[in-house]
Structure 1
Amino acid sequence: MTPSALPPDPAVVAANVAAALCEDLGPGDVTGMLLDDAPDCAYLLCKEDCIVAGRPWFDACLRTLDPEIRIDWRCAEGDRIAAGTVIATLQGRRRALVGGERAALNFLQTLSGTATTTARYVDAVRGTGTVILDTRKTLPGLRLAQKYAVRIGGGMNHRFALFDAVMLKENHIRAFGSVTAAITRARALHPTLPLIVEVETLDELRQALDTGCTRILIDDFDSPTRREAVRIARAAPYHGRIPLEVSGGVDLATVRAIAEDGVDCISIGGLTKHLHAIDFSLKLGPPPTC
């Protein structure tokens, strides 16, 4: 696990898990109550190629219901796993295994899906120096979890929410009359926060470069204009001090060409909102190879 993908805040994981179990179990698992609550074993099967992410949430779901459960993982967080691989074995109370199964798998399939999609984009731009970023287009209540999964997949995080960075977009700039005026006001009110500025023309780009900010988002530039923006930002007197970001209209078919235009980072809402959940299955009994 890389330093950027260190384990998430346990308190946030616990809160996510408490909400998921409350939603699924309610006053009790009426079908699980039919079972003799004896010790049993189970195995976790990965049914498609993926990057595994979400182990802290998976573990917490089951340990909330059975603190003595034993979970033996056969892979690390962030490992690339082939379809048909048994990635964990479990030993615990039977009712906890079946009662926590769906919530645990929901976290694992969602976060592994986010990490896997991110890794595909990271692989697509490898060697260009361009960084893949996420956005705030996350599932409600799971922002920290999905942004963690993006890091597991090799991407990096954009701002977390509306409070930790200033991002001046088209409507903000229109209200102030110019990029320069908007940046000046933002710096006066929030001098210590990162400042990201969206520009729509090369003139606005120059205003942002001259006034100064943390990063510039070049919006809806075609490839020739994008390359010219990169040339301007890297030439004197700016010398590449302010990174350029691209967002919008990016997919796996286009991301490599955008990166090769020389931009520093590409933010992609689809990492967290166009979700393909990875197929996992938790089955009672020993794994087939035993």
Structure 2
Amino acid sequence: MRESSWGAKVFNAANHILLLIVGIVTILPFLYVISGSLVSSEELLVKKIVLVPTNISWEAYRFIFASKIIYQSLLSTLFITVVGTFINLLLTTLMAYPLAKKTLRGRSKIMLLIVFTMLFNGGMIPTFLIVKSMGMLDTYWSLWIPSAISAFNLILLRNFFQQLPEGLEESAKIDGCNELRTLFSIVVPLSLPAMATFTLFYAVGHWNSFFSAILYINDSNMWPIQVWLRQIVMLSSGGFTDANALSEVVVPPESIKYAVIVVAAVPVLILYPFLQKHFAKGVLLGSVKG
């Protein structure tokens, strides 16, 4: 017993040290970015690496939020994220639920086609031509429809539905529920951990939407926040000029880059704690069965 107890103590101590090291390695980049966004230009010239700024300066954030365009792009991104996530969850759920039923004819062939899309796709130019031919250029539909269903998330949600007791659906049918009512009244409420997980996946994807917006949206008034943040970085580096876009404030380009990272990441960091308790559970439950 003593040897086992001693070994357990050594093992726990080693785990704590390892987790502490991993935690420090994980936190340091965030601390460096936040400090870099708050450092003054004088201190940045003296010190190349700043973890705790001596004098806090908000000039980088004032530079970013100097124009009303930023606030407009934030509202556009919020709209894109909320509506796009709703479309993703709705279509993914409506497709995953019937595929979870063993009685569905041709289920294996449909799943084969879904897996095929994970390995191969038409490419950027054919996708652009399809979006253009459907009249979705310069509309938010171009950001929603091409990525409406993620094959990976669909497979996980289908596996999650397969693990639910069949007796629940049979009881619902006896009570007179049709398939849609059974799905939204019984199956979906029981699948909240999985739904929370995919909500986070889809929402982060829409919030970080950049390349699709560059391809399909030419109207600058409709640009999401990520595109405008890129323009700000280019402006601070001298690669983009727009006299009406931002105020003429002298700010170190490095500080602006770090502030852009903070602005882009904070909303996701705020959302994550509310879904974190469901996150691991949802992914694990959906990945056990094939």
Same fold (TM over 0.5): no
Structure with the largest fraction of helix: 2
Structure with the largest fraction of strand: 1
Larger Rg: 2
- State the structure with bigger RCO (CA 8 A, min sep 6), 1 or 2: 2
TM-score tier by shorter-chain length is under 0.3
Q: Given the two structures, how large is their TM-score scaled by the length of structure 2? A: 0.22
